[in-house]
Amino acid sequence: MTIGLYDSGLGGLSVLQAVRALLPDHDLLYLADTAYCPYGPRPIEQVRERARACAGWLVNQGASLVVVACNTATSAAIETLRAELPLPVVGMEPGLKPAITATRTRRIAVLATGGTLTGNRFHHLVERFADGVEVQTVACPALVEQVEAGDLDSPRTRAILADYLAPLPAAQVDVVVLGCTHFPFLTPLIAEMLGPGVTIVDTGPAVARQVARLAATHCVQPGVGGLRLATTGDPNHMARIVPQLVGVKAGVEQAVC
């Protein structure tokens, strides 16, 4: 029995890492929809159709539980997938609730893609939890491309990130939420630039705990700890970048969906 995960590209590997740490004996299948990456600038209807295609591919490959390891795809399609698929579906959302619990200044920032920040799910999340807390949103589309290239600490990546983070100290932001699954790979750089007084919230571990709960509830049994990787883009490129991101060397299949 397999747990399937997908993202627009390689960012969801940060969620896969968290799931593997918690469920090391479960078999995992990861699909990177790299041919359509990034999702952020795409119309919501297209992201929803890609969600259907990717989740359907995972199910056809034997997934018993699907993780939408992408905030933009979750915002666009999670209700649709839950209505259409006969199995548990786990999504992502920016960790506003833990951020609001942690803030002392009552000012937090959310780094995400435009597709996440303009979605109804995010606005409902702010309305539900952010009473009395100032939420500064920062759309960071260029960071997705840097992570996809495995470029985590070059002068160019530093310059892009410094530009995005520049307004936060003056705004007295003391908690930063990573609202895109690509961004945890940049946590060391973000922490360095913002300093020790800023807490960084990554929802990957919380999502992994939800996956573990649902796997137990729905009898998704452990296997042999196997890992399959696939992409709708260039398998050779993904195979080169995956070891850099998650320290795993594995073959990458070509997926058509």
Question: Terminal CA-to-CA distance of the chain, rounded, Å?
Answer: 21
What phi-psi label fits residue 56: left (phi over 0), alpha (psi between -120 and 50 degrees) or beta? alpha
Instruction: Indicate if 180 belongs to the active site.
Output: yes
Which of 37, 54, 180, 257 is catalytic? The answer is 180
| pLDDT score recorded for residue 130 | 87
Tell me which H or E stretch contains 207.
helix 204-217
Report d(CA 77, CA 233) in Å as an integer.
Answer: 21
Report d(CA 114, CA 36) in Å as an integer.
Answer: 16
Second-level CATH architecture of 2-92+205-254: 3-Layer(aba) Sandwich (3.40)
Sign of CA dihedral 125, 126, 128, 134: positive
pLDDT tens across the length of the chain (257 residues)? 899 999 999 999 999 999 999 999 999 999 999 999 999 889 999 999 999 999 999 999 999 999 999 999 999 999 999 999 999 999 998 999 999 999 999 999 999 998 889 888 899 999 988 888 999 999 999 999 999 999 999 999 999 999 999 999 999 999 999 999 999 999 999 999 999 999 999 999 999 999 999 999 998 899 999 999 999 999 999 999 999 999 988 899 999 99
Give the global pTM: 0.94
Which of 70, 140, 219, 257 is catalytic? The answer is 70
CATH 3.40.50.1860 range(s) for the chain read: 2-92+205-254, 96-202
CATH number of 96-202: 3.40.50.1860
| pLDDT score recorded for residue 144 | 95
Instruction: Indicate if 219 belongs to the active site.
Output: no
